[in-house]
Amino acid sequence: MIVEAARRGPAPRGRPGPSLHDATGPPRTRKGARVTEERAPEGGVYEWYQRGMQLLADRHPAAAATLLVRAAEAEPASRSIREALARAYYDAGQYAESMDVFTSLIAVSPTDDYAHFGLGLAASRAGELSIAAEHLALAVAMRPDLGHYARALRGVRARQSAEST
């Protein structure tokens, strides 16, 4: 398809150019190389982590999650990578996945206040208010100096109260 489009010349203005996908095979890059699902991103784990963090900062959480999954598979013991992955899932609206990763962080380090906070927020968004309240309360107990922890807990408790009436 791209070869045919190249023979026809450039697309007229106002109309899209050739698709990066063709119906007969996997997607292609802009340079025409085939993209496969098994193809690993360029660079090493640290570069994947850095690019994932930049994608998070640039508000592309789903893309960040895709890259951070690769990094987490390569370095499953890395807390930084898994925390970034949990945040990416949360920002992408994948609350169950975020809860799973935050839960795994807590399993390794039960005193990680941020993991409890993240799990509480993800559970709240997933509608799991009892789990949210439990973990937010733990985060507040560990770090009473952080007002945003307490505000999140108050919000969840207010929702629980409203739902019980």
Domain of 156 in residue numbering reads as 94-165
pLDDT, tens digit, for every residue of 65-118?
999 999 999 999 999 999 999 999 999 999 999 999 999 999 999 999 999 999
pTM, 2 dp: 0.74
What is the three-class DSSP state of 28?
strand
> In sequence order, which ranges of the chain are alpha helices (DSSP H)?
2-8, 45-57, 61-74, 79-91, 95-108, 113-125, 129-142, 147-164
Q: How far apart are CA 87 and CA 128, in angstroms?
A: 18
Does 35 reside within a domain?
no
Q: How far apart are CA 62 and CA 56, in angstroms?
A: 9
pLDDT, tens digit, for every residue of 5-48?
333 333 333 333 333 333 333 333 334 333 334 566 788 999 99
Does 115 reside within a domain?
yes
Does 52 reside within a domain?
no
Q: The CATH number of the domain where 150 resides is what?
A: 1.25.40.10
How many domains are contained in the chain? Answer: 1
Does 81 reside within a domain?
no
